[in-house]
Structure 1
Amino acid sequence: MEFIAGIFAGISVTLSGHPLDTIKVRMQAGHVHSLSQCILKSYRADGFRGFYYGISSPLCSIPLVNAVVFGSYSQAAAYLGNDNTNIWNGILAGSYAGLVNTTVVTPVELIKCRMQAQSHNSEIGTEMKYKNSIDCVKKIVKEQGIRGLYVGNVASIYREIPGYAANFVAYEYAKESYRKLSGKDTVPTWALFISGMWAGFNCWFWSYPQDVIKTKLQVGFPIERGWDGGFYMMAKLIYKEEGWRGFWVGFSACTIRSTIPNGFGFLAYELAYEIITRHWVREPHLVNH
């Protein structure tokens, strides 16, 4: 049931968050560091459609990714005893979900980032090399083989594990805080939405520097790639050229992208799970209300 509900969460997050995710990627790629300028120049160069470059890849696959994440988290939580108020249980279950997720998320992220980084304006993006996501996959495989789809995989692992650990711990903590303050067992819709926003912020706050490194690797920055796929060398280069601020480029766009869409995502998950269990299955929710 968590798997199916996760699909609805993935669709919700993708549709509501992709435009700002595009801006985040373009800012991370190093073309424009100002949020307002990136939005304005992107619109002038590519129109409203440009904000949705590369959406076909995540729209077709992110629902599956979220299904894997929520399913893995619930599986780990059940193994640990379903004590969602225990922070260490949450960290372990969230970390496990993040680790499992890397098996499917790296190619999705790579295709998405390559498409999003493109623009008709060279000031804010790379040349228009790919017609669509399928064309992007074909050209990458032709040039680099299947391994080319897994560029940045180590960076994805470093991002997903702490990101999802923080994501689920923050979500459960926020819901539990509401219960204690209100004295009620049931968490209302608005509180689930706020809890999801808080979870999204924490997810990206604890994983954002790794995401910047991953994006630069995946959009094709020339770098020596060792056993870690260039993670250390890229981190060293960013720090040398931009200092610590370089690891937080685009976080202004990510703050919005990580909160509101994640609020919708968790809300969609909870509502979908409630409907599914009410009409088809009778069993307790692994992520307790």
Structure 2
Amino acid sequence: MLGGNDCIFGVCFLCQVKLQKHNTDVQGLRYKNGLHCASRILQTEGVKGLYRGATSSFLGMAFESSLMFGIYSQAKLFLRGTLPDDGPRPEIIVPSAMFGGAIISFVLCPTELVKCRMQIQGTDSLVPNFRRYKSPLDCAVQTVKNEGVTGIFRGGSATLLRECAGNAVFFTVYEYLRYHIHSRLEDSKLKDGYLVDMGIGVFTGGLGGIACWSAVLPFDVAKTIIQTSSDKATERNPFKVLSSIHKRAGLKGCYAGLGPTIVRAFPANAAAIVAWEFSMKMLGIKRD
């Protein structure tokens, strides 16, 4: 769904994970920002290093987007029932978004675990060579072999919290912005047209994405720490992990990777919304 922007998003994903992992560790590397991280990767691993773990990430994103929008739309229709279509209703938007987020967290958790573990094992990491994975498939197989089936779902609680809260914020911001912008254009000549709809989709989807990640990035940091830990007995409670990070790195540590995340959030979510709305128009599905 993100199309030709995959290369940019892949780099942002990698820098986000590296910053979250290394900038919250007691020992190890420290990156000044996303640009410093990307520069360091280019110097030590070349261009190929910027796309480490991208395969599992892109596959997960593509399936996640289509599944999320489908579940959200159907859940919203079910909850609305015979209620009048008189604008956004938080009592419908929030549970629909949270339900969709809960479902897709089970899809995202394994793909993101593989992505994160692949991305932290570059030449500038502290992961010893004998413990590195040859491919995403090898990572998944070795994880199940060493940690059991439950190992591939490590970080599930943090993923669940991030997806439920994040999607609730995203769709609330998106729906309210979209409704009020269209209301302002009701009597305008700009009311209809693909370019106008696309512009509104870009604006509302992009701001929704920024609001979403600004709200739930700490859960994503906790998830990365949990999923990339080499200790099987590592703490898996995201709140306890965040408390530990806050003690040693402060609020800044809880928001490690914010720069690359925000850079990716606007165009990625804008593209997703535009594609979703365009698909519904092509299929003749009426938007409420």
Contact 1:223 1:234 in 2 (8 A): no
Partner of 2:44 in structure 1? 45
Q: Return structure 1 stretches of 4+ with deviation > 6 angstroms.
A: none
Contact 1:223 1:230 in 2 (8 A): no
Of 193, 214, 220, which residue of structure 1 is paired with 2:223?
214
- The amino acid that maps onto 2:221 is V
Tell me whether 1:115 sits opposite 2:118 in the alignment.
Answer: yes
Partner of 2:286 in structure 1? 284
Unaligned runs of 5+ in 2: 23-28
Distance 1:48 1:274 in 2: 39
Aligned length: 269
Displacement after TM superposition at 1:271 (Å)? 2.0
Unaligned runs of 5+ in 1: 1-7
Over the matched positions of the two proteins, sequence identity in percent amounts to 25
Structure 1 residues 179 and 283, CA gap change in structure 2 (3 angstroms): closer
SS of residue paired to 2:80: coil
Displacement after TM superposition at 1:91 (Å)? 1.4
Partner of 1:234 in structure 2? 241
Contact 1:12 1:265 in 2 (8 A): no
Of 202, 223, 230, which residue of structure 2 is paired with 1:193?
202
Displacement after TM superposition at 1:263 (Å)? 1.1
Partner of 1:5 in structure 2? none
Tell me whether 1:245 sits opposite 2:248 in the alignment.
Answer: no
1:103-182 alignment, distance < 5 Å: 103-122=106-125, 126-127=127-128, 129-182=132-185
Distance 2:13 2:53 in 1: 10
Distance 2:256 2:144 in 1: 30
Partner of 2:25 in structure 1? none
Distance 2:43 2:279 in 1: 38
Q: What are the superposed Cα offsets for residues 181-235 of structure 1, whole Å, 9 maximum, x if unpaired?
A: 2225545212211111111111111111111000011111648556xx3323312
SS of residue paired to 1:166: helix
Structure exhibiting the larger radius of gyration computed from Cα positions: 2
**TM-score under structure 2 length normalisation:** 0.85
Distance 2:100 2:127 in 1: 33
**TM-score under structure 1 length normalisation:** 0.85
